[in-house]
Structure formats: structure tokens, C-alpha cells
Homo-oligomer: A and B are copies of this chain.
Amino acid sequence: MRVSQAEKERSRDRIVTSAARLLRERGVDGASVADVMSDAGLTHGGFYRHFETKDALVAAALDQAFDQFISTVSRGALTPDPQAAVAGFMKTYLSEGHVAHPGQGCPIPALAADVGRSSPLVQERFSAGVRRMVAAIGHAMPGDDEARRSAAWRQLAMMAGAVMMARTADSPTAAEILTACGGGDS
């Protein structure tokens, strides 16, 4: 049955939110349109009233996933000591909780490889999210602009690589990786 425009807006939000989680949990191919719609409490038939293609959904979901994750990063960045904020973010990023729950985590270790094989639209949105993250991290790095940006790239690359590898490893190895890269045990 038809619903109000406000309700449709909320439906769309639920679809995107479900997609943002399921994509990170199962990968681009592993999260089907029907899965996402079902998770959003709808049937798959109505999907194409909201999005042209699955690709468009992926792009929208990536935006939301980065928004959500960056807001987590930035929340700490307003503390008096920006370097302490980055340190706290690193601990959270390199935690077993982040490894265990990709659905709420950083899109980079969860989806970068998939995105590298996806459409230009998806790549562009993803890349924009990555740049936003680098900017957010670099903001709290020491040195001049170029040094901060460069340090932020190294930091982000290491963190993303560490979480990604930890997700393929057994528990002791995962802990070893996280610790080696500067993470905690939380």
C-alpha cells in the first residue's frame, strides 16, 4: 500500500542504513537487494522506486557509512588535546570490537577491495569518504600541512590493513597484529 512522502523518506533511510551495515558485514556481492529490503522491513519489489540500480544504493550506503564513522572520529577531535584524540581513535580502531563488528566499523577494511572492482560512481563516492577520513585524521597530526597529510595517510593505511588482516586471523594472531600496530585489547 501507498504511504506518505515522509514515510517514504523514512523507508529510504531504513534501506540505506540496512545497506550500510549489511554491505560492510557481507561485502557488495554478499548483500543482495532482497536482503537489504528485508532487513529494512520491506519487500524487494519496491526497491526500484527508491534507487535506479543496486549501484546507486551502494553509493548512498557508502556515504552514510563514512558519515557515521567519521562522526565517531570527529567526536573526540574536539577535545582540548587533538593528539590525545587521535590516540583514542586509534585505540578504538585497532580494537577487537572493531574487528568483530565490521557492520558498524570503518568502510575501508570492509569494502575497499570490493570498491576497487566496482563502478566509477561507487569508486568516486568511496574515495571521497576516504579523503574525508584522511582530512579528519590529519587535522590532529603534528607538523606542517603536507607532513600531517602524509602522516595521516600512513596511519590510516596501517590501521585499515591491520583490521583487515586481523579479520582473517585466529584470535591470538589478531591480538598480535592489533598490539603491534598500536592498538589495545578492548
Contacts and interface: CB of A to CB of B under 8 A. Distances in A.
A32 B131 CA distance: 33
Contacts of A154: 158, 162, 180-182
Interface residues of A, number: 46
| Copies assembled | 2
* Candidate in A124, A167, A182 with the most chain B CB atoms within 10 angstroms: A167
B169 A113 contact: no
A115 interface: yes
A111 interface: yes
A116 B103 CA distance: 13
B157 A112 contact: no
Contacts of A153: 162, 176-177, 180-181
* Candidate in A131, A161, A176, A181 with the most chain B CB atoms within 10 angstroms: A161
B117 A26 contact: yes
A157 B167 contact: no
A113 B109 contact: yes
A91 interface: no
A81 interface: no
Interface in A164-183: 164-165, 167-170, 173, 176-177, 179-182
Contacts of A167: 112-113, 116
A110 B151 CA distance: 24
B112 A27 contact: no
A169 B130 contact: yes
A142 interface: no
Interface in A113-136: 113-117, 123-124, 126-127, 130-131
Interface in A74-132: 102, 108-117, 123-124, 126-127, 130-131
